[in-house]
Structure 1
Amino acid sequence: MTLPTLLVVHDQGSAGPLRVLSSARGLGRVVFLCEPRHPAVAAELGQVAGHAEVVDITGLDDAEVCRLAAGLSPDGIVTFSEHRLRLTAAVAAHCGLRFHSPEVTDALTDKFRQRQALAGVQDTACVLLRHPDDCAGALARVGTPAVLKPRHGAGSVDTCLVGSPAECRDRLAEFTEDTPGDFVLEEYLPGDPGLTPPGWGDYVSVESLVVDGEPRTVTVTGKPPLAPPFRETGHILPAPVPAALAADVVELEQRALRALGIRHGVTHTEVKLTADGPRIIEVNGRLGGNVAEITQRRMGYDMVGAALRLALGLPVTAPEPLRPGREAGPVAFQYMLIPPADPVSPGPLSLIESLADLPGVDLVDVRAPDSHHAGWRRGTLGAIGVIYGTAGSHTQLAELLRQLQTRAELYWYGATSAPAVRSGAA
């Protein structure tokens, strides 16, 4: 039987070539459209050398990529990279394939347009910034403090809180000095401490499949606390939130997906838990980073495979959602090792590697930091690795995360040794 041809527009994102090929086994013939010599993808492609079909799109504009893709007679197309959503939408429209339309993709990748599209679901003040001189007027409309972030971007790169026109001007000038571009200034959404006790993040994400315009919830994912200013530090599954709150989160998320006109694909929606109820932070039109691993490990569900099936128009079924709640167990987690915001002189990497000895930790995947990881402006891209594990309950996980954070601080601030591991911590 001849398998259908599936184009994967590849770049740095939430699924590497090895994972894509594994999930595509028996579903389709995968062809990667990418820039194979780009540093962000070269190492990943090296892992599947000789086993993957790669089409080089280096130096081609969108129209040229569209014509090239049409010549491959594709049956489906998908991307797992935020940076390639617009190109993928253009190719899909040119070839008549299932994906977000170019109009929907504009709203998914443009934070200013997305706030406009969600106005009927949620009113969140958002002003476009193109020049430091615009900051005072923008802050007057949005209020303080406010969140400054790139109009187009992901991973909390160049994202921070500002409290005055002078601070806003300075930050915007700093961010745009080397790479000019539009920014947005948004209303800050404060979390409700009553909903998020110490030890947990004050937001969640919703992972969904959208089939013919109908969202199907895969899960609600909890979070550890952010690293300043807004850097994500991991995932917790199931989320440590009451069932009623999780239901409210999903209801809001589904209204947002419909308001954006999403018809087809995988979505990753971040939702803040505030005193006024759940509020949308942002909707992403692709699989969230590291989400595939934790849903596979905790739920036995392959979200990469689901995305491929959706792209090919094959039937897809969401799993039975996990029961939320702070004592629902077992609890899977990922904890990202994010550098502090201030300059540091790290100790020996063995301090981090020794975290594997903590009860509940299954894997420590780290590398020594270099200039790529320096500075909070890198957002989550600055992480030097991820710790994977499982705890018996959210209570046990809270204690384990405390130990992980304490040990990580010893490393970042130059300690030469670590305390003995306490038994029975998780």
Structure 2
Amino acid sequence: MGQDQSRRVLPGTAATPLLLLVHDRGSAAPLRVLAAARGLCRVVLLCEPDDPELAAGLRMVAGHAEIVDITGLDDAAVCRLAAGLTPAGVVTFSERRLHLTASVAAACRLPFHRPDTVEALTDKFRQRQVLADSGVQHTRCALVRDPAGLAGALALVGLPAVLKPRSGAGSVDTCLVRSEGECRTRLAEFTEGHGPAGRRDFVLEEYLPGDPAPAGPGVGDYVSVESVLIDGAPRTVAVTGKPPLVPPFRETGHILPAPLAPALAADVVALEQRAVRALGVRHGVTHTEIKLTPHGPRIIEVNGRLGGHVAEIVQRALGYDLVAAALRCALGLPVAEPPGGTGGPEPGRPGRVAFQYMLVPPAGALGSVRPAALVEELAGLPGVDLVDVPGADGRPAHWRAGTAGALGVVYGSADDHTALRALLAQLRLTLADFWPKASAGSV
């Protein structure tokens, strides 16, 4: 167990500080973190190594990483264990470990989100309350614990509305509902098999209609802002554009720089900075999603950690290492200034637009998609640098899995946003021939 293994972990020194990585499924794999830490610090992973979803990443660093097993330990025990290692910093890239990391940071007197800030970052209902109370943004929303409360929630929020878990990430069990009957059906589906003790709370909130004009045709009507905060001061690293969502709300990748006019990008950043300050974020990396609506930018949600797949595209497009920035921030070391402020093109490659496109199957898709043939077809498109499809059988996941149901990712670049729109259209056209036909369960 963790306490036995921890005896073999030596404390850090002034020359080589020790950084605790509270590891779980998240936005930075252990190998990526160790690469960013080279010459900077020793990394000790606090994790549950027998978790099958972590096994592949841990195998990649076998023999190169120090691992402390925290399986079966409660938060207090993990905090005592962590304090005994005298770390110089603590960080996580996992949504589900933000609470534990905040507890460890408090026990070790290290910078991280305060517990009340983590609550607002991970509780979607609480986050809406804080943003409304601070005057940043009022969004109609209501808690839904069981079908008996639906009528009151719908009366407050109105239709159409978005139904989603109170806590979670990656658009899992998130959908648009257009009627009370549809909302009841989805809520019953999402809570099926959960007894009263394990039942999750859901949030019903107003649907924010998108305006396709600001970003232009062929791309998504929302963006994200990637920031590093030091002592409460946000530094904008990038404003990241998006390809269109796959219904109901599954993200399909990133575009850098975002296809926004400078004035709108500035408005987006100003809104993001008001939001992270209102939530009490003072240290670390944030990923804030913002919808482009007919009434201007509106907050979708603020995440208190690095966004999924974001570090790769930021490094490729801007030459900026967000993982290293997160480590340095956790250690209290100087953090490099972002190169472009709002995510301009990479130095030396003026005008290039980098992209990632996630291979997310349509809702209701069944069967296999012939991965080898898919990779060959997509890799032949101009502008595509890499097609990463690690799955062996290519079986699409149910839409309820959110972005975790992607079969892989396409990486590439285009000369400008016009060329990118054409390439994204070709990607979607090519994929249409590979996805199995959607079933009646489509949303």
Give TM-score, length-normalised by structure 1: 0.94
Q: Aligned partners of 1:324 and 1:77: how far apart in 2?
A: 27
1:343 pairs with one of 365, 369, 382: 365
Cα 1:252–1:162 shift into 2, 3 Å: same
After the TM superposition, which residues 30-49 of structure 1 pair with which residues of structure 2 at under 5 Å, given as runs? 30-49=43-62
Q: Report the 3-state secondary structure (helix = DSSP H, G, I; strand = E; otherwise coil) of the residue aligned with 2:150.
A: helix
2:406 matched to 1:406?
no
Q: Report what 2:163 is aligned to.
A: 148
Q: Aligned partners of 2:392 and 2:163: how far apart in 1?
A: 27
After the TM superposition, which residues 248-397 of structure 1 pair with which residues of structure 2 at under 5 Å, given as runs? 248-321=267-340, 329-354=351-376, 355-368=378-391, 373-397=396-420
After the TM superposition, which residues 88-103 of structure 1 pair with which residues of structure 2 at under 5 Å, given as runs? 88-103=101-116
Q: Aligned partners of 1:74 and 1:349: how far apart in 2?
A: 44
2:151 matched to 1:129?
no
2:88 matched to 1:69?
no
Q: Report what 1:117 is aligned to.
A: 130
Q: Aligned partners of 2:261 and 2:190: how far apart in 1?
A: 39
1:150-184 CA-to-partner distances (Å, cap 9, x unmatched) read 00000000000011111111111110113420000
Q: Aligned partners of 1:369 and 1:115: how far apart in 2?
A: 41
Q: Aligned partners of 1:374 and 1:136: how far apart in 2?
A: 32
Q: Aligned partners of 1:133 and 1:369: how far apart in 2?
A: 43
| Preserved contact between residue 241 and residue 257 of structure 2 (Cα < 8 Å) | yes
Q: Report the 3-state secondary structure (helix = DSSP H, G, I; strand = E; otherwise coil) of the residue aligned with 1:195.
A: coil
Q: Aligned partners of 2:115 and 2:153: how far apart in 1?
A: 29
Q: Tell me which moved more, 301-310 or 197-206.
A: 197-206
2:176 pairs with one of 157, 161, 164: 161
Partner AA of 2:83 in structure 1: A
| Preserved contact between residue 125 and residue 141 of structure 1 (Cα < 8 Å) | yes
Q: Aligned partners of 1:372 and 1:36: how far apart in 2?
A: 26
Q: Aligned partners of 1:322 and 1:208: how far apart in 2?
A: 10
1:84-107 CA-to-partner distances (Å, cap 9, x unmatched) read 001100111111111001110000
Q: Report what 2:208 is aligned to.
A: 189
Q: Aligned partners of 1:182 and 1:241: how far apart in 2?
A: 36
Q: Aligned partners of 1:400 and 1:85: how far apart in 2?
A: 37
Partner AA of 1:108 in structure 2: L
1:245-286 CA-to-partner distances (Å, cap 9, x unmatched) read 100000000000110011111000000000111000000000
Q: Report what 2:247 is aligned to.
A: 228
| Preserved contact between residue 139 and residue 164 of structure 1 (Cα < 8 Å) | no
Q: Tell me which moved more, 211-220 or 173-182.
A: 173-182
Q: Report what 1:19 is aligned to.
A: 32
| Preserved contact between residue 19 and residue 87 of structure 2 (Cα < 8 Å) | yes
Shift of 1:323: 6.5
Percent of pairs identical after alignment?
68
Q: What 5-or-longer segments of structure 1 have no aligned partner?
A: 415-426
Q: Tell me which moved more, 202-211 or 400-409.
A: 400-409
Q: Report the 3-state secondary structure (helix = DSSP H, G, I; strand = E; otherwise coil) of the residue aligned with 1:149.
A: strand
1:48-84 CA-to-partner distances (Å, cap 9, x unmatched) read 1000000000111111111111111111000000010
Partner AA of 1:11 in structure 2: D
Q: Aligned partners of 1:149 and 1:321: how far apart in 2?
A: 34
Cα 1:372–1:175 shift into 2, 3 Å: farther
Cα 1:27–1:347 shift into 2, 3 Å: closer
Q: Report the 3-state secondary structure (helix = DSSP H, G, I; strand = E; otherwise coil) of the residue aligned with 2:19.
A: strand
2:98 matched to 1:85?
yes
1:98-144 CA-to-partner distances (Å, cap 9, x unmatched) read 10011100000000000011011000011011001211211111011
| Preserved contact between residue 135 and residue 169 of structure 1 (Cα < 8 Å) | yes
Q: Tell me which moved more, 346-355 or 374-383.
A: 346-355
Cα 1:382–1:347 shift into 2, 3 Å: closer
Q: What 5-or-longer segments of structure 2 have no aligned partner?
A: 1-13, 438-443
Q: Report what 2:11 is aligned to.
A: none
| Preserved contact between residue 236 and residue 341 of structure 2 (Cα < 8 Å) | no
Q: Tell me which moved more, 128-137 or 285-294.
A: 128-137
Q: Aligned partners of 1:341 and 1:43: how far apart in 2?
A: 28
Q: Report the 3-state secondary structure (helix = DSSP H, G, I; strand = E; otherwise coil) of the residue aligned with 1:99.
A: coil
Q: Report the 3-state secondary structure (helix = DSSP H, G, I; strand = E; otherwise coil) of the residue aligned with 1:248.
A: helix
Shift of 1:368: 3.8
Q: Tell me which moved more, 315-324 or 356-365.
A: 315-324
Q: Aligned partners of 1:407 and 1:170: how far apart in 2?
A: 34
Q: Aligned partners of 2:343 and 2:213: how far apart in 1?
A: 17
Cα 1:323–1:264 shift into 2, 3 Å: closer
Q: Report the 3-state secondary structure (helix = DSSP H, G, I; strand = E; otherwise coil) of the residue aligned with 1:247.
A: helix
Q: Aligned partners of 1:394 and 1:175: how far apart in 2?
A: 38
Q: Aligned partners of 1:272 and 1:81: how far apart in 2?
A: 23
Shift of 1:193: 2.5
Q: Aligned partners of 1:73 and 1:196: how far apart in 2?
A: 48
Shift of 1:370: 5.8
Give TM-score, length-normalised by structure 2: 0.91
Q: Report what 2:231 is aligned to.
A: 212
1:239 pairs with one of 258, 267, 281: 258
Q: Aligned partners of 1:367 and 1:411: how far apart in 2?
A: 17
Cα 1:369–1:160 shift into 2, 3 Å: farther
2:188 matched to 1:173?
yes
2:18 matched to 1:5?
yes
Q: Aligned partners of 2:92 and 2:430: how far apart in 1?
A: 36
Q: Aligned partners of 2:341 and 2:129: how far apart in 1?
A: 33
Q: Aligned partners of 1:34 and 1:28: how far apart in 2?
A: 19
Q: Aligned partners of 1:349 and 1:410: how far apart in 2?
A: 13
